[in-house]
Amino acid sequence: MPGLKRGTIFLTLIAFCLTAALSSCSSRVHKNDADAAGELRVYKDLSYAPGSKDPFQTLDLYLPRHPKQEPVPLIVWIHGGAWMSGDKNHPPLLPILDRGYAVASLNYRLSSQAVHPAQINDCKAAIRFLRKEAKLYDLDPARIGVWGHSAGGHLAALLGTSGGVKELEGELGNNEFSSRVQAVADWAGPTDLLTVGSQAPKNCRIDFSSPTNPVAVFLGENRSPTAYLAASPIQYASPDDPPVLILHAEDDDIVPVGQSREFSELLKKQKVTHELLISPEGGHALSRSAFVNRTMDFFDKYLCGN
């Protein structure tokens, strides 16, 4: 969760692993040499909240090089950083453009600016904006996946489980469009903010009993058990949730692996299609090629039918 020095290493390694894992998303997506040599199509700093000039309510959109022959699936990257730090710059997913996906990388308001539910309000507004502008950018509004790590994993999971939950939608505009997503990849995200402290291992680098720990800052002054649950993906899980991929490392010393096990058990009870992959090692960064490959296979399966 924290913006650690290992974050830069994580981004570099995941980008390397993604590059090694390239393949076509769908047989319906065609490429040729001229297309591959074309310039990357990038739209920077798109405001997803109508009327907002806040740079933390913007996204960058990266489109595949191939010509517009049909709408393409979209994967939205949500950065980590304990809800306290991080930004949309240098998303590690860009190599998947060559698999036929578009990529959107989000900024969202950090906890120093606003507390929950501002962050999920922003993420939902971004999904609604992308769906509204799908035709303009040749995106398929019926094939939107989200992928987040750490605090970004929490927000990705919350997007997946809270589709249609009015209290979390916010009023940032384009509310006539749905904020639901069709697939979720949660990498080491906290999913039950009420139990994350009790599950923390002895070597955990976060003191969850401190009033300034990331979860407490994220929630602000309202720290009742009800408030902790209201900000937790597990609170909203239901049988109509999209497929979820959960990845975690046993030796994670920031977000306890028990969070992912608990989330998986709840999704199982709710009969939600999901996969749980736990590695014996990898720490919080999860920068392993096997994890990257499994994540891309997951999106290929549920967004592209491969």
pLDDT in tens, the chain (306 residues): 544 444 444 444 454 445 444 444 543 333 333 334 456 789 999 999 999 999 999 999 999 976 557 899 999 999 999 999 999 999 988 888 988 999 999 999 999 999 999 999 999 999 999 999 999 999 999 999 999 999 999 999 999 999 989 999 999 999 999 999 999 999 999 999 999 999 999 999 999 999 999 999 999 988 899 999 999 999 999 999 999 999 999 999 999 999 999 999 999 999 999 999 999 888 898 766 678 888 999 999 999 987
- What pLDDT does 280 receive? 87
DSSP 99: G
| Within-domain flag for 291 | yes
| Within-domain flag for 1 | no
Helices (H) and strands (E) in the chain, counts: 11, 8
Contact 111, 149 (CB under 8 A): no
- What pLDDT does 6 receive? 47
Query: 102 - beta bridge partners?
Result: 74
Query: 78 - beta bridge partners?
Result: 106, 148
Q: How many domains does the chain have?
A: 1
Separation of alpha carbons 191 and 258, rounded Å: 10
The distance between the two most distant Cα atoms of the chain, rounded to a whole number of Å, is 58
Separation of alpha carbons 98 and 2, rounded Å: 31
| Within-domain flag for 299 | yes
In what helix (H) or strand (E) does residue 183 lie, and over which residues does it extend?
strand 183-187
Separation of alpha carbons 9 and 120, rounded Å: 27
pTM of the predicted model as reported, rounded to 2 decimal places: 0.89
Contact 248, 199 (CB under 8 A): no
| Within-domain flag for 203 | yes
Note down the domain range covering 254: 6-304
- Paired tokens of 262: 């608990």
CATH of the domain at 220: 3.40.50.1820
| Within-domain flag for 268 | yes
